[in-house]
Amino acid sequence: MAFEAYVGRQEEREDRADPRLAEGMAATLGRPLEGAEWPALWHWTLFQDWRMPDGLGPDGHPRRGGFLPPVHDLPRRMWAGGRVTFRAPVRTGDALRRVSTILSVKEKSGGSGRLVFVTVGHVLHGPGGVLVEEEQDIVYRGTEGAAVKAAVAAPALEGALEASLVPDPVMLFRYSALTGNGHRIHYDQPYVTGEEGYPGLVVHGPLQATLLARHALDLALREGAGPGTVLARFAYRGKRPCFDGRRLTLLGRRDAEGVIRLETRDEDGATCQEAEASFA
């Protein structure tokens, strides 16, 4: 089956906004949950894909095939970025339905060889209608080239709101468990260093996006936004990996058009993820 034949393919799944997931995410991020409404991007704990042991690949991901195209010749699979529109919040206890559609499959060539990009659209429905609309970009690549390329420090962001943290193995393990993510690069030190060539455990791209979404809200509140302020749109893109035990800096500032621009930077000042946010 040609990859292009997967475009338009759909699947539907159901779940419930379990309070234990919200409690676990609050503990993992160190951000107490206030009320029943879930913060932005916490819905990524839902619709988990748990497989029997024989349904897993050597990297801990589900074996190729099923809903996504089976890109068997490119062993590395990563969540590269996405775009999210928030219509209404997920609330603890909500019965939810997600409709997923493969929007595009594109092959490209990059510095590390052949790449396959798959964009998946998700529409999350709650009791009152659509809650979230998003697109997720997944990239498949080979093992050619260095796992991490050298990068220079990004220019200073004058006037940016800055915060920092040091992601540790406990934080990465908890986030993997809460999202049902079995990818071994996030918790298996011998695997990530010996098999994939990274210098440490890789901090999840979605975890970085979740941190930046909260940082955007912190910036809006600092600027005088009311307590009911919520994200309307959020877009994010991975630039390079970052690792456990190393300081990760969050930066955010509003540009001349009123859009909040955000970045994570590693301890050398290189940009790891960039994002932009706007509020309702």
| Cβ neighbourhood burial of 260 (10 Å; 0-12, 13-18, 19+) | buried
CATH code for position 250? 3.10.129.10
- pLDDT tens digits, residue range 32-64? 998 999 999 999 999 999 999 999 989 998 887
Average pLDDT, the chain: 93
pLDDT one-digit tens code per residue, 181-203: 999 999 999 999 999 999 999 99
- Our measurement of the distance from residue 15's CA atom to the centroid of its chain's CA atoms, rounded to an integer in Å, reads 19
Give the pLDDT confidence of 212-248 residue by residue, as tens digits: 999 999 999 999 998 889 999 999 999 999 999 999 9
Task: For residue range 94-125, list pLDDT tens digits in order.
Answer: 999 999 999 999 988 766 678 999 999 999 99
> Residue 63 has which token pair?
């074996």
Q: Are 39 and 21 in contact (CB under 8 A)?
A: no
Structural domain total, the chain: 1
The tokens of 129 are what? 């209608």
DSSP assignment of 194-240 equals HTS--SSPBPPHHHHHHHHHHHHHHHHHHTT--TT--EEEEEEEE-S
Q: 191 is in which domain, residue-wise? A: 3-279
Q: How far apart are CA 23 and CA 28, in angstroms?
A: 9
Instruction: Give the pair of three-digit tokens for residue 160.
Output: 């940016």
| Residue type (1 letter), 56 | L
Phi, psi dihedral angles at 232 (to 5 degrees): -105, -40
The pair of three-digit structure tokens given for residue 70, joined into one six-digit string: 């089976």
* pLDDT band for position 1 (cuts 50, 70, 90): low
